[in-house]
Amino acid sequence: ADAAFTLESAEGIKKTILHGGTGDIPRFIAGTKVTFHFRTQLCDDERTVIDDSKAVGTPMEVVLGNMFKLDIWETLLASMRIGEVAEFWCDTIHTGVYPLVSKSMRRIAEGKDPVEWQVHTCGMANMFAYHSLGYDDLDQLMKEPQPLYFVLELLRVQQPSEYSRESWALSDEERLKVVPVLHGQGNKLFKQGHYQEATQKYKEALICIKNVQTKEKAWDVPWLKLEKMANTLTLNYCQCLLRMEEYYEVIEHMTDIVNQHPGMAKAYYLRGKAHKEVWNEAEARQDFTKVLDLDPGMKKAVKKELAVLGMRMEEKNQEDKNKYKGIWPPPPAPPPGTPPSRRARSPGTT
């Protein structure tokens, strides 16, 4: 039978079970991944639908304890069984940030900012930064907050150990623990020649580091430690790009590093290799010279690269000569008896 009651853990909520679920209420702990459908309705006579995940065709996923902007949903879901469908009336104190969450979810459905709604920011603070959310119905809700109905259908509950969490679903501590694992996986893939797969591991590790680093004060010791880790991963990432012949991207990434850290010999070395591959002789020589200034221990590697560069440039110059050879027609033969001073000269001769 349908049951209506107020959740004990929160005021301003009334729950009505529309379809009973099965089994006991699952364990809902930090890190639990919850998959569910939702429908949001106004409390008017028509029960006007604002959002409906079934209409979009994709259920919602939330990782508990990951600072999802509409934290009241965590409370609602924690009262449900698998397969249960329930309607929750929520007072204005719980629905003030819904317009922001709705905007993010609509953008996800449109293929934009796929993890925007997981950003670790305070929804209420962000509300004041917006003049318009880009949707008339949400702008109206933001101006005049009101109670809402949420109809939720709980599809699946996965404990932290039961699924592979993406980097956005990790805490800062977990992110730092997973970095060396991803780094090692990337190195292994690189040695096996799987460069594309290796870049994905390095990129994921870099995202983890940068997410944590943004919370540190720039150039302080914790920030610098993370920066060193990030630079090492970027160097590895660019080693893959060199093998994949993505030379201009290597030049771009290494230039970013040397601008911030002008003492990194390996960054100049990789940029020099990339310049060499795209025939930028002067830039390559300049970078290799800088490497020798910063790290004389790399003399053997640099000498080898310079030798290859010299050989390549000789070949290119010879190719150019052959290419342009005969571009000017030979001068016509002078008529018999023409004095030497009046003979035709080749173009470009004096």
Instruction: Confirm if 186 and 229 have CB atoms less than 8 A apart.
Output: no
Higher-pLDDT residue of 218 and 191 is: 191
> What is the pLDDT of the chain when averaged over all its residues?
83
76 closest CA partner among 7, 137, 124: 7
Instruction: Confirm if 19 and 81 have CB atoms less than 8 A apart.
Output: no
Q: Which domains does the chain have, with CATH numbers?
A: 4-162 (3.10.50.40), 170-244 (1.25.40.10), 264-312 (no CATH)
Pick from 63-77, 96-110, 252-266: least confident: 63-77
Each residue's pLDDT tens digit, 325-334: 666 666 676 7
Each residue's pLDDT tens digit, 265-279: 999 999 999 999 998
Residue labelled with tokens 């390549």? 312
* pLDDT score for 167: 59
First to last CA, the chain: 107
Position 4 confidence tier, pLDDT thresholds 50, 70, 90:
very low
Q: Has residue 64 got a pLDDT over 90? A: no
Higher-pLDDT residue of 24 and 161 is: 24
Each residue's pLDDT tens digit, 82-113: 999 999 999 998 998 898 888 878 877 776 54
